[in-house]
Amino acid sequence: MNVEAPWRGNNLARQIVVLSALSFMIIAAVIGAGAFGNTAVEDQQDGALSTNGSYLAPAGPAFSIWSVIYLGLIAYAIWQALPRQRTNRRQRALGWLIALTMTLNGLWLVTARFGTLFLTVVVIVLLLAALGWTFRVAVRTREPRGGVVDSILIDGVTGLHLGWVTLATVANTAAWLTTIAPASWEKAADAIGIGVLVVVGLIGLAIAWQSSWRLTPALALAWGLSWLAVERFGGEPRSTGIGVMAIIVAAFVLLPPAVIRILRLLRPSVD
């Protein structure tokens, strides 16, 4: 009896599911971008998801990071579909999880188009949890890595996805709360926004620490925070306090892993 046959079937199924999840995500992204006459994401939900939807929404250029994340996920899906990756232990541990994150990514876009703002919060929280778990498995699994390509397409892309969605979850939740909160709450918007950014900074530092100071989540988070600052300084609603805090938190999140990674390059023995 060929005991390898069931594993081959499961591994092939995993590769197909990853490609299917990617296809779903790309179709949802194309529709979400406003193709085929649809309303773009920033104009959906009565504009709540636009750059002026809340005090914690980043400026428009921040969202260009999706192009990098999507290209990375496309490259991963093609790479993992190669025959030599079929029985790879790292792929067995992570393929299904990455497929889940791509599916939730696409589901968020579908929810933004056809669902409610509250449902977008639910889906993006699920996406954040899935990315957190996937990244944890990626950096802690004992299965051997497959070189630079493996590190970039699994650890790197998942890290960027996680870092960006961390901030996107905050912005999405703030947009929803803005639509349901009493108008009187706006008087405390600066204080609330600054407090939330402090928590974001602590979360970003915790992600770096738990991942042995991987840099990509911090890069994505700092990128989003920097554009959040730009929007608060020059856009609406304007808030100098939140803008300044966003810059401080971006530095707080980015500098520790960057310095540690540089030290490790200079002194490989440093932990």
In terms of Cβ atoms closer than 10 Å to its own Cβ (0-12, 13-18, 19+), residue 231 is buried
Query: Among 61, 26, 48, which Cα is nearest to 119's?
Result: 48
93, 141 Cβ separation under 8 angstroms: yes
Domain spans in the chain, listed from the N-terminal domain onward: 11-266
Q: How far apart are CA 19 and CA 238, in angstroms?
A: 42
Token pair for 229: 């600052």
Per-position pLDDT tens, the chain of length 271: 333 334 456 999 999 999 999 999 999 988 876 665 566 676 677 667 887 888 999 999 999 999 999 999 999 999 999 999 999 999 999 999 999 999 999 999 999 888 899 999 999 999 999 999 999 999 987 766 778 999 999 999 999 999 999 999 999 999 999 888 888 878 899 999 999 999 999 999 999 999 999 999 999 999 999 999 999 999 889 999 999 999 999 999 999 999 998 998 888 654 4
pTM of the complete model: 0.91
Q: How far apart are CA 213 and CA 256, in angstroms?
A: 8
